[in-house]
Structure 1
Amino acid sequence: MNGLILGKTDKEELRYTIETAYNFTALWKERFEELNINDLCPEYFLSNINRIHVTPHDLNDKERVCPEYIKEKKVFHGIMRTSGTTGEPKRIPFTKDDKKRYGRQAWPWVSVYLDNGSTIASFFPQLPSSSGVFAFGALESVDAKIAYHQIPIQYLRMKDALLKEFKSIKPNVLFALTTAAYVLGLTLPEDIKNDIQVIVVGGETLTEELARATLENFPNAIIVDNFGNTEDGITGYRIITKNKVESFSFPESMIILKPDGDDEYKEYHEIYITKIMKEGELTGLPLFNYKIGDLAKVVDGKVMNIIRVKDVVSLSGAKLHIDQVMDIVHRYPFLVDFVIIYHPLSPGNPKPKAIIRVGYIGEKPAGIEDEIRELIYEANNPVRYEVEEAKSSELIVEAVPAEEVRKGLPQKPGKTKRIFIVGKDI
C-alpha cells in the first residue's frame, strides 16, 4: 500500500508496546490474536492499515480500549476529558509514564529553545485538558528550571489586566493558542513584545502566512508549533523562524501517512498515530494506527503542515480548508478575524453554502470581498468549479467591522472555533 512512515520506528520498543497492549487490552488482544507479534514491523502496520486501526468513536468503548491496569485501578492515573467531537466526550486516562513520555516529546525543542531561568506566560488552560498536561506536566517531567505563570484566558479581552500581569512577571516565553498569539502581537506594547524569545502555539492550524504575521509583531522570537492531542500528547512539532519553516518531527510516535485518494488534493495525507512506549512503561491508552481525523500536507516526503479535518467544510465535491482561508485573510494587516458560517448539505438544503465573514479595522477596504473570493479560487480550483461552473454550492464573503465578526453566530458551533454550522451536517 502507498504511504509514508515517519517518527519513531524502533522495533524493540514497538514490540514491547504491542506485547503490553496484547496482554492487557481487549481490543488489541482481538486485533493481534492470530498474528506473530515479532512480525509486526512498521511496514506491516502500513500495509494492513485498513484492518489495524482505531478511530475517535472507538475510544468511547472504554471496556475494550482501556487496559486492565486502568480499569482495575492498578496504577495511578488521571482522566483528561475531550470536547466531545464524536458526539460525546472521550475520557482519556493518563499515567505517570504518560507524563514522562510528554517530557520526552517536548525535550527536543525545550532543551534547545528554553533557557534555564526562562519565565513563561501561558494562556493554555490547565488540567484536565491535554494542553494543560502538556504545558505544565511536560516541563516538570524534564526538570526544566523554568517559571510557569498561568494567565486567565479572559485577560485577552481585558487589556489593563493583561498589561499589569505581563509587567509583573516579565515573561520571555509565550504559550498560547495560534490565534491568541497573533492577537497578543497586536495588543502588547513594543517593550514587552521585544522580550519574547519563544512562542509556543498549538490547538489550531497555523499557516506560514499567520506565522510570519505573528513573528512580525515579535521581532526577537521564534515559533514552536505543536501538533498535540489528548490521546497521544505532543505528537509532533516544527520550528518556524522569520526566514524558515521546518518540517514536523515526531519524537515518540510512529506516524503513518496515507494518501487522501483525491487527485485534486494529492498533497494531503491522512494521519495515523501509533503511541510508542519504552520498556517497562504503562501508558493509559495504547494506540495503534489511530486515525485521528487530521490531514498532513506532505511536500517531498516531509510534513510541512497539519490541518484538522474539523477545519474543513465540503462544498459538494470540493473541500474548503480553513488553512487556505487563514493564509489569505492574514495577508491583510487590516483584517484581524474571520469565521465561516457553514450551511451543509441536508434534506432541507440541497446546496451547501459557506459564508466567510472577515473583520476589518478602520474603513472598509473597497472590493475586499471580491479580492478574497478570487484568491480562494486561485488556491482551490475545485471550490471555484463547484461554485462558479457546476453551481452546486455557494461561497459568500462578507466584510464587517472587527467587533461584529462574531455577532449572531449559530448556537451550534462546528468542531473548531472558526466554523459555525447552520442545521444538521450529514
Structure 2
Amino acid sequence: MSTQLTPILTKFWDHPTSWTLATYEDNGGYQGLRKALRTEQADLVEMAKASGLRGRGGAGFPTGLKWSFLPPPDGGPRYLVVNADEAEPGTCKDIPLLMAAPQFLIEGMIITSFAIGCNHAFIYLRGEVAHVHRRVQRAIQEAYDASYLGTDILGTGYNLDITLHSGAGAYICGEETALLDSLEGRRGQPRLKPPFPAVAGLYARPTVVNNVESIASIAPIAAHGADWFADMGTEKSQGFGIFSLSGHVTRPGQYEAPLGITLRELLDMAGGIRNGRSLKFWTPGGSSTPLFTDKHLDVPLDFESVAAEGSMLGTRALQIFDDTTSVVRAVSRWTDFYAHESCGKCTPCREGTFWLKQIMHRLEAGRGSQDDIDKLVDICDNILGRAFCALGDGATSPITSAVQYFREEFEAGMHTPASELFPPERSTLFVKETQPA
C-alpha cells in the first residue's frame, strides 16, 4: 500500500477558478459520465461493488451494495438523496469539496442516478453554509447549460433534474431518515426502521441516501475503472479518502490519501504537533468516535484496524489535541453539543444527554462527587444501543473512552477546576494580538 497522498478529488483545489465547469473539464471532468451512459445500469451497480467503495459519511457501508437493495422498477419514481448536512464537530471535508470542486458531486450524482433509474435527485445541504449553497447552485446551472442535466442528457434520452435543498441547521438531519423527513417538510426526526429508505424512503418511494464524498468518488471510478480504485487502500478498506487534520497541528488541512495511512505519517506531512509539543489525544473519525491517544499513532486508518482498536474511522475527522488540553473540558464541550442537538424523540438520548451534560459541567468546574465518574459510565451504558439513531451512541463515545484513558483527570474534577489544571490560554489556537497603546 502506498502511503503517499493521492490528490484526486483535491487535485485542482488550488486552481484560481477550481469550482467552474471549465476547470473541471480541463481536468478530465465528465469523461466518466460519457462512459457510464454507454454502460448497462446493472453493470454500473456492479462497478460500484467491485471498486470496494464504502460510505464516506461515517458508517462505512458498501456503496454498491446499498444501491442493489432497491427493489425492481415498478414504473414509479425512485430517488437519490445526497447527504451534505455536515455538522459534527471536527468534520470538515464535504463543505470544502463543495466549495472547491462541486462538479465532482454533480457528475457522480448523474452517474449514480442513471445506475439506479432515478430521474430526480436531491442535495440536502447544511443550512448555515449560504456561501456553499450559492456555489453549488451555480455549478448545477452550469451543468444544465452544458446539457449534463435536464432532458436528453448528451443525446442519450436520459433525463435528470437535481434540486438543492437547504436544511434549517439541525445536526439530527445528518441521520438519513431524519433528513428525509426534513426534505419532505416535516420536523427532522429519525424514523423507525424497517422499512429502510431503499424500500420506502423519500415520499415513500425507493431511495438511495449517500454522503457527498461517496457520490463524488463515483465520477473518477467511472472514468478509471473499479480496479484502479480497488488497487488503493487496504484489502477490505479500498480506495482513497479525505483526512481532515485540525487542532494542534502545524499545518491543518485536507490530506487525501489511501485508506490505511497512519496518523504518524499524516502528521509528518502536516509538520507535526504545533510548537513541538506532544500529542495527548485525538479523534479518528470526529467527535462521535471513541478517543485515541499517542499509543495509537501507528494504527492504520482503515475501517477494520480502527475498529479493532475500539474506535471508528467515521468521517476521518482527525482532531489533534496536545498536552496543554484538558480532556474533561474538551469532552464537556462535545457533550453540550449532543445534548443541544438531541431531537428529543427517544428517552435514552433526550434524558441521558441532559444528565451527562450536568455531570460533565460539575467535573469541569472541580465540583464533582465521588460517584460522578461511575454515574457517567452507567448513564452511557444505558444510552448505548438504546436510542433511535446513532446520536445517542455518538454522545457516549468520547466520554467512555476519555474515562478509560484519562480517569485521573476526571478524578481531579472532584476538587480542582479544569481551568486551573490546564489554563485555557495555553491550548487556544488563535492568540489575539494586543495593540500598542
Shorter chain as denominator, the TM-score bin is 0.3 to 0.5
More strand by share: 1
Greater RCO (CA < 8 Å, at least 6 residues apart): 2
More helix by share: 2
Give the alignment's TM-score, normalised by structure 2: 0.34
